[in-house]
Amino acid sequence: MLLKNNEIYKKMEKIELLKKKNLFDIYFNDVFINLHADINKKVFYFFFDENENFLFMPILVSPIFQRKNDNFYFETVYGYSGPLSTSYQLSFLNKAWKTFFDDCQKAGIISGLIRFNPFLENHLTVQNQSFIDLVREKKIVYSTMLNDYMHYFDKFSVNVK
């Protein structure tokens, strides 16, 4: 179900489980998420739970046309966000994403953008969903810094910096 900011706190106990599994970072922190909100972007949280499993995804919902509020789009916060799930079982994920799709339709959300976290590999949660097109945009480059910062900084092109 799509929850407003004040409603998510009822689910915080379950979200603490994500922190224990090292699946929670700044992109899911409510303070960071609210930095991206404004008069036209409202924060909502999709939360689906069944038995001991749940899928959680903060989204920003905006009207498509500023003068009409009947059609909306959503996006996840800028950076490596997307969904967090305690289960990758296909039956659970199918139910969760079906509920997300239905909730979006009820709310007038007709389009959306999910930014996934390559380190969490949370793109795997949507592989079986026909209404989601998974598009890889670019390579992710990372390195372990064993030397000083400038040693690595000088190796990257201006575009990467």
Q: Which of 26-35, 48-57, 147-156 has the lowest mean pLDDT?
A: 147-156
In whole numbers, what is the pLDDT of the chain averaged over residues? 82
Write down the pLDDT at residue 106.
Answer: 92
Write down the pLDDT at residue 8.
Answer: 61
How many other CB atoms are found less than 10 A from the CB of residue 84? 23
* pTM of the predicted structure, to 2 decimals: 0.77
Write down the pLDDT at residue 5.
Answer: 60
Write down the pLDDT at residue 59.
Answer: 93
Q: Which tens digit of pLDDT belongs to each residue from 99-143? A: 999 999 999 999 999 999 888 888 989 988 999 988 888 777 776
Q: 91 Cβ partners below 8 Å, 6+ apart?
A: none
Query: What is the rounded CA–CA span in Å between residue 114 and residue 42?
Result: 16
**Per-residue H/E/C for the chain:** CEEEHHHHHHHHHHHHHHHHCCCCCHHHCHHHHHHCCCCCCEEEEEEEEECCEEEEEEEEEEEEECCEEEEEEEECCCCCCCCEECCCCHHHHHHHHHHHHHHHHHCCEEEEECCCCCCCCHHHHHCCCCCCCCCCCCCCCCCCCCCCHHHHHCCCCCCCC
Write down the pLDDT at residue 121.
Answer: 86
Write down the pLDDT at residue 157.
Answer: 78
Q: Which of 4-13, 93-102, 144-153 has the lowest mean pLDDT?
A: 4-13
